[in-house]
Structure formats: C-alpha cells, structure tokens
Amino acid sequence: MQLHAFGKGRVKTAFATHQTWLAMKLTAIFLFLAFLHAGANTYAQKVTLSERNAPLRQVFKAIEKQTGYSFFYNNRTLQVAGKVDIQVKDASLRDALDLCFQHQPLSYIIQDRVIIVSTKEADPDRQPSAVLPLVNISGKITDADGNPLQGVSVFVKGKTKGTTTNADGTFTLNGVEETAILQVSYIGYAPQLIPVKNNTTINITLQKENRQEELVVVSYGLQKRREIVGAVAELKATDLKDMPVGTFAEKLQGKLPGVQLGQTTGRPGQSMDFRIRGAASISAGNSPLIVIDGLPITGNTDGVNNINPDEIEGFTVLKDAAATALYGSRAANGVIMITTKKGKAGVVKIDFNAYTGVATSMKNLKPEVMNATELATYMKGFYEDKIKYEGYTGGVPAEYQNPEQYGAGTDWYALLLRNAPVQSYSLSLSGGSEKASVSVVGGYFNQEGILKNSGYKRFSLRINAEFNLNKFIKVGASLAPSLQLEHNNRQSTSSSNAFNFDGQRQIIASTLMMPPMASPYNPDGSLTLGYAGGFSNLFTWANPLRQILEVNDDVTRTRLLSSVYAEFRFLDNFSFRSTVYGDIGNLTRKKFIPSTSLGGFNNVPIDNAPPGNKSALGEAGTSNNYSWINENILTWQKDFAGDHSLKVLAGFTTQHANDYTTNIIGRDYPDNKIPYINAAARVTATSGSQAWALLSYLGSVDYSFKGKYLLRGSVRRDGSSRFGFDNRYGTFPSAGIGWIVSDEAFMKKVPVISYFKVRASYGITGNNEIGNYTSIPTISSANYVFGGTLAPGAAQGNLGNSLLSWEKQKQLDIGADFGFFHDRLLFTYDYYHKYTDGLLYQVNVPRSSGFANIQTNIGTIKSWGHEFSVTSKNMVGKFEWSTNFNITFDRNLVTKLGINDAPIASSPSVALSEFTDWRTAVGQPLGQFYGYIFDGVYRNQSELDKGPKHSTSQVGTVRMKDLNGDGIIDAANDRTWIGNPNPDFIFGFTNNFRYQGFDLGIVVSGTYGNELKNSMEESLYNMDGVFNGPKELLQRWRSEADPGNGRIQRTLAGSTVLSRSDNSMFIHDASHLTINNITLGYTFKKSSYFNFLRNLRVYAGVQNAFIFTSYPGNPETSYNGLNGISQGEDIGAYPVARTYTFGLNVGF
C-alpha cells in the first residue's frame, strides 16, 4: 500500500472521548482528585509565509521546508479544501496552521513532529456511523531484517478497537472503517500511522528507534541522549521487566558502570548499600541521593524499600558534576533518578504479575565448625596438653575420654534455618488519551526469612495521573502509600547490618560457639533454657533456638509519598512548573524478650526471673517523619537561525523536615505472659524531636550549535540549617562540553562508526549528611544533687562550631560514547578525578573543655577511576543474543587530615591501638585494616631462638613479621597495612537470549581485590577451650614432633596475647563472582482460546544462583555497610539466601 503524505514521522495514540471518561473515573476512584490536566506541546519553530490563492498542498510544502515537520493526510481529504490566502512573518507554527485551516472543512492535530489532517466532524463525541464502509484487515509486522515481531500493538486511532501480533507477527482486525488510521507501536521501534482506506491486507515493517534521539531523565527534566554532556547511565523498562526480585536495588545489580551494590545481609526485605564511583567521605556518608519522580528521598537506601519494583519505569544514574550539580549540597555521592510508570495514550491495559518460590540457605557460605566428636576430641587434647605442659593434675574429664560416643551431635546453625516461602503479586492498570492519562500499580510482597520466625511483608499502591485542561495548562498528581511489616527482622541499634536480640553477641556467632554435645530439647521435648553445664571448661549459653522462636520484635512502617504539580506554557517558548511534594512516614516498634530468652554468652536465662536485669525486657517506640518540598522551575527553549538551540532553566526550591521520636523500655515484668509495657514495674522513657530546612536557587543553560557542538552550564546555591552561621550557604557550579564527531563530514567516510561523541565536564558538588544540630551547642536534661536530693537540671550537650562548612567535591570527567555497525555495538568510557575538601569528622578535644570532641572540617581526599561499558547485539533474527559488560576501576587517597595529619580510627571514640581494626592516614586509601602480618607459629625451639620474638613468645605460639628487623616484635614498629576493603575493580555482565517464545536472562556481578576481616572467625579461633570453633583447631601445635599445620598455635594458658591483636590471619580475599539472577521464560502464542489476553508469559528464576569466592562466608557482608572508614567486617550477619521462583505475567 502507499502512504499519501509528505514524509514520515512518529505519532502517539489518541483516545476516544468515552475512553477519556473511563480514565477520569478510574482516577477519581483511586486518587479522589479533582484536577484536570491539559497542555499541548509548544513549538519553537517560526514560520514566514506569503501566499495568495494557493492550494493547501503548496502551503504545507512551504511549512515542511521551514520547520521540518511532516503532514499526514488522505488525498481525498484535500479535495474538499479551498485555496489559501496567508501573510505571516516569524509566526509560531500553531498560529500559522490556525490561519491555514481558518474557514476550511478540515482540522489538524500535532503529534511529535507530525501534523495530521482530517475532515471536521460536526460532533466530535458522536459514535461512528453504521453506514460507513467497514473492512476486515489482516497483516504481518516484521523488523527491518524481515523477522516477525510478537506483541506489537495495533489499534484504530482514537478508538478502543485493537489487538497485538502473534508469535509469527500476524494480526487481524475486523470491522474497521475505511477512513480509519491504524496506530502501530512497539517498545524500541518507531511508531507508525497507517491509513486503512479499502485495504484488507496490510504488511508493515517497523524501524528501530534512533537510540540517540531517546529522551533521558536528568536533573529537573528530560534531555535527548545525544545532547547529554555528563556521565549518565540509564536502565529502561525493557531492561528491567523480566527479573522477579523483591527490591528495586536488585534490579540494578551488575547493570551499570560505576555503581557498586553490597548485599551486606540476607535480611528479608533488606535494601542494598549503594556506592557510585567509590568512597569519598570519612563520616558524612557515601550513599547517593535517590530521587523518585522528582522527589529527593531523605535518609539511607533502606528508606526506599516501600517501592514495589513493578512500579518502576526506569533508572537514570547521574555520576559527574555536570549531571548532578543541580542537586548541589546532596550530590557529591551521585544521584539515582527513579521514574515510575505513567499512563500512556491508547487502550486501557491491565497487567498482572505474580510469582511464588522458596528461599534456601547457601551451603557453600555456611561457616564450618567442629561437630560433637571433634569438639570432644579437641577438649581431650586440651586437657592432655594441660597435664603435659602446665602441671595440671586433674586428669582428662570423663566426658571427654571417649569422644566418639557423641557422634555428630547437634548442628545448632542448621536448627535456626528453614526453607522459607516468598510470594509477590502486582496488578497494574494504565491508559489515557490526549486529554488524560492514569497509571495505577498495586502490590503485595511477602518474604519469610530463612532464619526461623523472621519475615517481611509489603503492601504498596502508586497512582500517577495527568490531565490536559487546554493547550496551555497541564496538571498532575501522584499518591504512593505503602505499609511494611517486619517480624524479628530488625538489626541491633549499634549497626545497620547486625542481627541479635539483646545487644549481646550476634546470634549467628553464638550459634556457632554452642557445644554440639548439648541438645536444644529437654527429655519431654520442650526447649531448654540453654546449655547450663556438664562439659568441663565450656561456657554456658542461652538456647539460640528458643531465643529465635520466643522473641517478638515487630516493626510497622507506613509511608506516603505524594506530589501535585501544575505546568503552564506561554509565549511559545516558556513553560513554568510548580510542584509540591510530601513525604510522611511513621515507624512503630514493639519488642518483647521473655526472661527465658534474655541471655547469651556465659549467661543462661531464668524462667520468671525476679526483678533485675535478668527479667523480661519490653520496648515500644515510635518515629514520625514529615517532609515537604516546593519546587518552582521556569524553562525557556528556542531554536533559532536554523543552527542554534538554547534552553535556559531557572528556579528555586525549599524543603522542611521534622522528626519526632519516643521510646519506652520496661523491665521487671511479673511473668513472661504479659508483653505490654504497662505491666512492667520499672519503666524508662525518652523522647525527642528534630527539624532541618533547605533553601535553594538553581539555574542551567544548554546550548547546541548545528546539533553537534554542545555546551552546558549550571549552578545551585544551597542554604542549610545544618551548618554554622558563618557557612550556611554554599554555591555549586558546573560546566560541560560535548562534540558529536560522527556528525562531521569527514566521519562519513568511516561507515563502521555510526555514532561518536566526546565530552568533558567539571564542577563542584557537596555533602550535607551530618547531624541536624552539630554546628550549634545543644542543651539536654541532666540531673544533679542539691541538698542531698536529686534535682532535675540541664547541661550543654556538645560543642558548637559556627565555622562548620560543607564537604565540597570538585570533579573532572572526560568521556566518550561510540556506536558501531548501526549501534549494534555500543561502547562508553569515562575517566573521573574527584577532590573532596573539608571532610566532616569529630576530632577529640582536651577533657578540660568538658567535652570529648567537636565536629569540624579536617581533611581532603582525592579519588580517580576509569569506567568501561560495552553493549552488543551479538545475534539478531529468530535467535537473539545481547550482552552488556561493564567494569570500573576506582582508587582513593587521603591527602590531609586535621592540623597535624595524625591518623584516625573508625570513630572519634576509638583510640588507636593494636586492637583497632581500621586506620585512615595521609598517603593511604580510606579505612584500611591495620595490624601485624601473621607468619605462622614457632614449630620448635630452634625457630624460637632465631627470632624474632614477642615478649610472650614460646614454642608453639604465633609469630608475626618483624618489619623493622630489630629482632623484637612490638606494636610500635611492626604493624602495617594488612588489607584494603575497597575493591580494585567492580564488574557486571548481563546476557539476554530470545528464541521464538523463549527468553533467558543471566545477570552476573562481582568485585576483585577487596579484603574482609572475619571478626567472627577471629572469635572462634579462641584456644582457651571455652566454646566450639573451626575444624582447623584440630591441627594446632601439640609438640615439636606434632607441630600441626603451622597456622594454629598451642593451647597453653596465657600464650594467646599476640594472637588476639589485629593481624592478617583473619583478613581474607573477598573477591567474588556472583550469578545474581537466572530467569527462563516462555511467552505463549496468541490463540483463540486466549483472545482476551494481550500476552501470557510463564517463567522460572533463581536469585543468588551461585557465589564463587574463596571467602568463608558472604563476600559482600559488612557490619557497617559501605561506610568509608569502617567497612568490610564480618561479625555474623543474617545469612544470604538462594531463592527459586516460579511466576507468570499476564496482560489484558
């Protein structure tokens, strides 16, 4: 068939009037809004015409030549048109068109860059006439290579009639008017409009969309990919839709260069720790700013677990200053922009996604400890050596004389674990027209923990609506309530990744230390209170199984994210948008630990304990957070003189946040059956409130010459209540340039290169993540004795610092983007160099001041790195195979610390010693491990005599490296850097395969060169015979004739002083390759049995399929998360699970 039109263009769907009413009713049901939205696009092109008695077709040609817009019409339509008289100079496109169509029996609409001409209707809301000729249409839709496309939407423009193509690309539509226009659309391909006329067979070839013309979400707006001069990475809906995961962070694993995600714990519902381009701060945080549909989210990434992954349309990660500077004082660690799904013009679509599955523990990550026979054998040898070397006369206790009698004993670790079900359901509805659109997504997620009696549930709803009132005004609103329920899933207050019940040793570590000869059950089958003795020298313990089953620690989180905006377009080139955002959160915690579970290390609980610290413990707490933001953005955009394009943005934003907390602790309960606070005889209550505010002014300019020479500049000025009176405001500018080299004439001679852009940027961003009142002296309650009685009073709580300023980060980025073979192969490279000045840290002050420390700006860090990303379409056709690989190298170096460059530990309260794990010093990377270098044991007297020796060294004890060669091992001269938790590089590797109806996706990520300190292992390698430990302890030194494996020292009392110091024995290589996700799916062909379905797909998947590592545990764990100066410690976190899922996607 032929298209009677002057050119080709893309047109989005329109929607019938009754369908608009349906969308508005749905919006009213879900949103209870009375907003209307309208707004036609404003077109910047100017038109000059001087025509008298000219055919309309001739005028169309003149407009096309001047504007680049295309006209779409049927020749019969123009046969009824009259001649045109028009005289205009520098008129807007719409004004010129209004004059052309004045007094004509025609009308027009503009979609993207296409002007669609049709015959006027007397009543736009009338139903189609029954006497109009109808035709039955069939056809086939293929790509440019002739391959059939399944799932292509084919709809009658402005109507509800439509269908999608089958697996062989065919479709049928019956009863279509001859005057109708078919609207054809498919993700990743340019949409088409096809007039029906009297054709009964219509075959269509879709062309791939030009990737560089796609719009990308950036700071405060959208920008064409080709015009971006900053370091920006993007994931679209097509990259995300086939992964069944519970949190949005899991969608990002391994997908984007420069983005490190740490699965530091396996807690159900737990978000991951984010880092973009490495660490660059000591204590102000290294997490990026997360922005959801324009709303900056306060707090860490754990605060966005309320998001259902099925709500998300795409991610954009902003990494350099040119991309992030408009977020100013919060952008030093990068920005993650999350865009949620919006309604689109077209028929109403309903999608249902569901999966269920089971989570299991990963055997290769299980810590190995001795079983009952092995521990009894160890203890037998312990006493034999005690008799031999220490003069002990008590003999080997009877319980250890026949170790084999105990067999394997109790596997305490396995007792705590279970196979845990997981399920997820998500229902979405979307639709719209040129006048209104709405998207509604509701979800339910339930993940039981692999540790018994723990779990997480999430209920979520998101409603996005936009309405057009007229061609000048558009309004919209969003509402996203959520409810999260956590059961025994909370961490201790001392760390974001610990897992315990009473602030004592982590329950995983306690479990591994339990004697396997003991049983968790009494003879009658009830649970014991714990191991209370019976095996000589072993510590008593609370029963961890009873603890995990009896303790109740429930947290309820509610959150409401909302926004409403109005956008006004005026004077052709201007638009103004005002948005109000709200973020309301509430957290309620109810915790009760009966006295039968309140114990642990060498501490057996008591049933119905008397008043005191062994009685039951109850806790009730609430936290209420309120935050609102108002943003006002004015934009002016104009193309002029043919080759110039200019966009100017200016605005201001203000934010205010409040936080109110209460916490009540109850002790001395009458028994363990009444868990409520009012039953406690001893109650302690605390409460508090905080507030902070931010006022900002911002602006940016984007300029393009000939579409290939690009320039961007931006500036933001922030005023924050968190900083000192003398440094309350900060200015954050940036500039970037770009050159699309492939548009030059000389590059046309290199056809293999389809796209080539070079870019560079420089700018300043800030970090404001410190306490709300750190810069000012605060007053807190303090009781004192007056006249022999305790009187209430108040005292200054901290030293203020009116000079306290921002951490400022200066960043240079140089990058290049390549496309080869018509963009079948894409390559991106970035080099970055960051210089962070004014590091925020608490430094110690003389005790005579009455205070321990003061917050100040003490130092500088420089960091640099390289990012590489390759995306390829390896095979196209019936069998499709695409690959993405990214790798990032990052380094950092401390260049200044405080006044005298003295090294620091993990926090101001920790003094440097031979027992401090981390150290940060000038000339070194952030937060390295520091200590002795382990050098085995002294196997015999000859080795001891040769030295070097510690003051406690004996034959069979540990030996450390003598770094200064003086023959003496001491802390002052022989400790050094023994490990770096920062990886040499991180990488990700994704492969997607499609064949006919089958699809397979594999996601891989990993790190190389980073080390972890296994502090749990360090505790387990105790040689005093007081609890269980690793199997390697059986290979300890026993005598010169039996020196063991050369790593494990003897059990001699008082000989373990040196081994307890920080040393490299417990520093492990944590390099790993993780197969994060494998998903295999099948999409059914459309058939008459399922003609009411748009699509039907079933799938099976595995999350955390395999972890390849030499580390004896989870290689991503970190007690303090990705903290810059204290990361990379394993103390026994919640175990990571492998999850098997089965699910389906249904579209109606």
Q: Which residues have a Cβ under 8 Å from the Cβ of 356 and sit 6 or more positions away?
A: 421, 422, 423, 424, 1141, 1142, 1143
- Mean pLDDT over 157-174 rounds to 81
* Cα 982 to the center of its chain, rounded Å: 19
Q: Write down the pLDDT at residue 132.
A: 59
pLDDT of residue 631 exceeding 70:
yes
Q: Which residue, 1014, 1011, 949, 938, is CA-closest to 980?
A: 1011
101-115 pLDDT per residue, tens: 877 888 888 866 778
Residues sharing a CB contact under 8 Å with residue 300, sequence separation 6 or more, in sequence order: 285, 287, 496
Between these two residues, 64 and 1047, which has the higher pLDDT value? 1047
- Band of the pLDDT at 581, cuts 50, 70, 90? very high
Asked whether residue 123 carries a pLDDT value surpassing 90, the answer given is no
pLDDT digit string, tens, across residues 469-478: 988 999 999 9
Question: Which residues make Cβ contacts (< 8 Å) with residue 1042, sequence separation at least 6?
Answer: none
β-pairing, 204-205 with 134-142?
A: parallel
- With beta carbons less than 8 A apart as the criterion, state whether 351 and 1145 touch: yes
* pLDDT value at 881 more than 70: yes
pLDDT of residue 748: 84
Question: Could you tell me if 3 and 145 are in contact, meaning their C-beta atoms sit under 8 angstroms apart?
Answer: no
| 3-state per-residue secondary structure call for 758-802 | EEEEEEEEEECCCCCCCCCCCEEECCEEECCEEECCEEECCCCCC
- Residue 4: predicted pLDDT: 34
Burial of 1063 (0-12, 13-18, 19+ CB in 10 A): buried
Q: Is the pLDDT of residue 75 over 80?
A: no
* pLDDT above 90 coverage of the chain, percent: 53
User: Partners of 417 in the beta sheet?
Assistant: 451
Winning range, highest mean pLDDT, from 252-261, 339-348, 910-919, 985-994: 985-994
Is residue 500 within 8 A of residue 507, CB to CB? The reply is yes
With 60 as the cut, is the pLDDT of residue 457 above it?
yes
Confidence of residue 530 (pLDDT cuts 50, 70, 90): very high
Q: Which residue has the tokens 């200054």?
A: 796
Distances from the Cα of 91 to the Cα of 28, 42, 69, 472, angstroms: 40, 13, 15, 18
The confidence score (pLDDT) of residue 18 equals: 39
DSSP for 642-707, please give it: TTEEEEEEEEEEEEEEEEEEEEEEEE--SSSS---GGG-SEEEEEEEEEEEEEEEEEEEEEEEETT
Cβ(263)–Cβ(1137) under 8 Å? no
| Euclidean distance between CA atoms 45 and 69, whole angstroms | 10
Find the mean pLDDT for residues 1026-1033: 96
Residue 42's pLDDT band, with cuts at 50, 70 and 90, is: very low
CATH architecture, range 5-205: Sandwich (2.60)
DSSP secondary structure letter of residue 567: E
pLDDT of residue 499: 42
Lowest mean pLDDT among 357-361, 419-423, 664-668: 664-668
Q: How far is CA 155 from the centre of its chain?
A: 37
Domain residue extents for the chain: 5-205, 368-416
- Whose tokens are 């770094």? That residue is 963
pLDDT for res 377? 98
Could you tell me the pLDDT band of residue 125, with boundaries at 50, 70 and 90?
Answer: very low
> Is residue 371 helix, strand or coil?
coil
pLDDT digits (tens, 9 = 90+) for 379-396: 999 999 999 999 999 999
Rg of the chain taking only CA atoms, in angstroms: 34
Read off the pLDDT band of 209 (50, 70, 90).
low
For residue 19, the tally of other CB atoms under 10 A from its CB is 22
Q: Determine contact, residues 306/459, Cβ cutoff 8 Å.
A: no
Q: ∠28-31-34 over CA atoms, to 5°?
A: 55
903: Cα within 13 Å, side-chain hemisphere: 22
- pLDDT interval class at 127 (50, 70, 90): very low
**Band of residue 735 on the pLDDT scale cut at 50, 70, 90:** very high
Q: How confident is the model at residue 571 (pLDDT cuts 50, 70, 90)?
A: confident
Round the average pLDDT of the chain to a whole number and report it: 86
Please report, for residues 29, 33, 436, 481, 915, the alpha-carbon distance to residue 25 in angstroms, rounded to integers and kept in the order given.
6, 10, 11, 20, 66
Q: How many C-beta neighbours within 10 Å does residue 125 have? A: 9
